[in-house]
Amino acid sequence: MKFYHEGAKEIPIIAETEILVAGGGPAGVGAAIAAARCGAKVMLIEKCGYLGGVATAGMMSHWSGAVHCSLLKEIMKKTAQSTSLPLEYAPELTEHDFNWSIPHECQKQVLFQMMREAGVTVQVHTMAVAVIKDGNKVKGVITESKSGREAIMAKAVIDATGDGDIAAFAGAKYLLGREEDNACQPVTLMFRIGGVDYARAVFPHSFETFIDLPAGEIQALGKAHLPAPAGHVLLYRNLLPGEVTVNMTNVTGINGTDVRDLTRAEMECREQMDQIVKFLRKFVPGYEKCYLTASGEMTGIRETRHFKGVITLTPEDIVEAKVFDDWIAVKNYFNFDIHNIKGAGLDSNGAQKFFRAKGEYTIPYRACVPEKIDGLLLSGRNISGTHKAHSNYRVMGICLNIGVGVGTAAATAVQAGVELRNADIKNVQQILLANGTEL
Residue ranges in contact with ligand FAD by CB under 6 A: 22-28, 45-48, 53-54, 57-58, 60-65, 127-128, 160-163, 165, 188, 190, 247, 300-302, 380-381, 394-397, 399
Among 428, 329, 310, 305, smallest CA distance to 369 is for 310
Among 302, 375, 378, residue whose Cα is nearest residue 338: 302
Does residue 251 contact residue 268 with C-beta atoms inside 8 Å? yes
Q: How far is the CB of 152 from ligand FAD (least distance, A)?
A: 11
Residues in contact with 267: Cβ distance below 8 Å, sequence separation at least 6, in sequence order: none
Least distance CB 310 / ligand FAD (angstroms)? 19
Q: Which residue is nearest to ligand FAD (CB)?
A: 25
302 and 187 in contact (C-beta within 8 Å)? yes
CB 314, min distance to ligand FAD, A: 18
**Closest separation in Å from C-beta 309 to ligand FAD:** 15
Comparison of 49 and 91: residue with beta carbon closer to ligand FAD = 49
Q: Which amino acid is at 147?
A: S
Complex with ligand FAD: residue 112 or 415, whichever CB lies closer = 112
Q: Which is nearer to ligand FAD, 184 or 428 (CB)?
A: 184
Kindly tell me which of 78 and 394 has the beta carbon lying closer to ligand FAD: 394
Check: CB of residue 303 under 8 Å from CB of residue 256: yes
The distance of closest approach from Cβ of residue 58 to ligand FAD in the complex, given in angstroms and rounded to an integer, is: 6
Per the CB < 8 A criterion, the answer to whether 384 and 311 are in contact is yes
Closer CB to ligand FAD, 298 or 413, in the complex:
298
Beta strands 191-194 and 244-246, pairing class: antiparallel
Residue 435 · residue 70 · CB < 8 Å: yes
Residue 97 or 325: which CB sits closer to ligand FAD?
A: 97
Give the nearest distance from C-beta 127 to ligand FAD in angstroms.
Answer: 4
Between CA 349 and CA 214 the distance in angstroms is: 32
Cβ proximity of 327 and 364 under 8 Å: yes
